[in-house]
Every structure is written in structure tokens, then in C-alpha cells.
Structure 1
């Protein structure tokens, strides 16, 4: 079991979060904390849900509106996702650096902004065209 395992019925989750069960139902309705559902449609809260409920309570006590709380939680989730993506990219880069394969590919930007693959040690040819702009005559 991990922190995302749906373990707690609504009364237990409410007690752990220090809230009334009706408050948890309201938060579920507006999408602040959405627990998983059983086949019988009853709510099951994970430890992560309980932590989030406590965070909602703390923000609410500080005077943040429910819409503000929803936005804060959304941004925190986005930051968490971006941090995970950065870790993935760092691992991939480290793997490439460790393997240091000869003839590996290098990427550059093309004239239209597209990604262009080139071999290591080669240069991208750049156009030396001159473009003259003249306004339309009226």
C-alpha cells in the first residue's frame, strides 16, 4: 500500500482531516478533493487525500477563497508534474553523457523553427539572403 491507496471511508477521512463529513462531500462536489469511488459509489479517501484536505483547511483558515484554494492546488500539482519531468530529462541527459556514443545525433533549429537532426561535428548552413521590405503604395 502507498499514499494513494483508497483506504478511508468518509467518516474516518473527515476525522483524520478534522472536518465534518458534509464538508468533504462539498469539496468533492466542487472538485477540490475527489476521492475514488467503490462499485457501490461510496467514497474512499487515500492518505494523500487526507493531507490535501488538511491543506485546504489551512488555506481556508488563512482567508483564501475556495476558488483560490482550487487554483493553488492546481498549480502545486503542475509544479509536481514539471519537477518529475525535469528529473526524467536529467536522467536521459545523464544516460546520453555516460554512453557518449560516436556519431550520436545533435539537434539544431531550422530556418522555420523546426528541429533539424545533424551529425556531431557538422555545422548548419545558414542562408545569407538579403530581404528588402518596401511598404505597399497607397
Structure 2
């Protein structure tokens, strides 16, 4: 017995319209109509033939479910799909922004201290600035008071 481990790309446009229609449980003409309406837009092969992906098949099934089980008309289905795509895109953007915030937080975890020569030294939290000799000097900063 062989244990095959294939990487599967659900966006790969591999199914011709007759196979896609059969997998979705629809007539090929229905798929053509959905393409014209912009509900499910498959890729095109060199000869302009439609090529459907596994993601397209899943979307065709969802269109059919919304239409037959929930009684949603095609215009409503198109709007639902557009909104779902927007939500997915916004979810991806939120993930990108969260990663960026995390990176900024990691980079911002520094303390600025005065070096031996009076210069400013950035050090990570919990670390002392590098110095050839330790000093016991204490620097007190008093802001100037504005004259009233």
C-alpha cells in the first residue's frame, strides 16, 4: 500500500465545464449562465474554454444551495458572494495588520539610556547599556520652569 501525500491547490483550474457541471450537480448551461452573471467566473484555457477549480465547484454548490434551499434570487446571491469576498479580504488585512503591530511591539521594547560619553544608547528591556566600566553617577533632570 502506498501512502501518497500530494499538495492540493484548490485554486488550480483543472476541470472542464462538463466535469465541473457534474461535480456541482448542474447542467453545463447553468454554469455558463452563472459565468455571464459573474456569480462564478472560471479561468480560461488557451482556446477560451472554461476551466474550473475545486474552489469554483464549492462556490457553484453554494450558489445552488442559496437558490434552492434558501430561495435567494441570483441578484441576491451575487451580492452575498461579493460581501463574503469582502469579509475574507478584510480578514486577511486584519491578520497582516496584527502581524505588523506585533513586529512593531517587539521592536519598540527598548529603553534609552545615557552612555558613558553622554550619548544616547538604546538597550533591550532588562539589559544594561554596554560600557567598559561601570559608573555610579546619578543624573537628575529638572525641566526649566516657564516664567509667568
Give the superposition deviation at 1:102: 5.1
Is 1:77 matched with 2:105?
Answer: no
Between the aligned partners of 1:13 and 1:99, the Cα distance in structure 2 is: 49
CA RMSD, aligned part only? 1.3
Give me the TM-score of the superposition, normalised by structure 1: 0.72
Between the aligned partners of 1:30 and 1:77, the Cα distance in structure 2 is: 16
- Count of matched residue pairs: 103
Give me the TM-score of the superposition, normalised by structure 2: 0.67
Aligned match of 2:43: 36
Query: Is there any run of 5+ residues in structure 1 with no aligned partner, and where?
Result: 104-138
Aligned match of 1:51: 58
1:23-58 deviation per Cα after TM superposition (whole angstroms, max 9, x unaligned): 000000111001000110000000000000000000
Between the aligned partners of 1:3 and 1:77, the Cα distance in structure 2 is: 16
1:1-32 deviation per Cα after TM superposition (whole angstroms, max 9, x unaligned): 51111010001100111101010000001110
Q: Which has the larger radius of gyration?
A: 2
Deviant stretches of 4+, over 4 Å: none
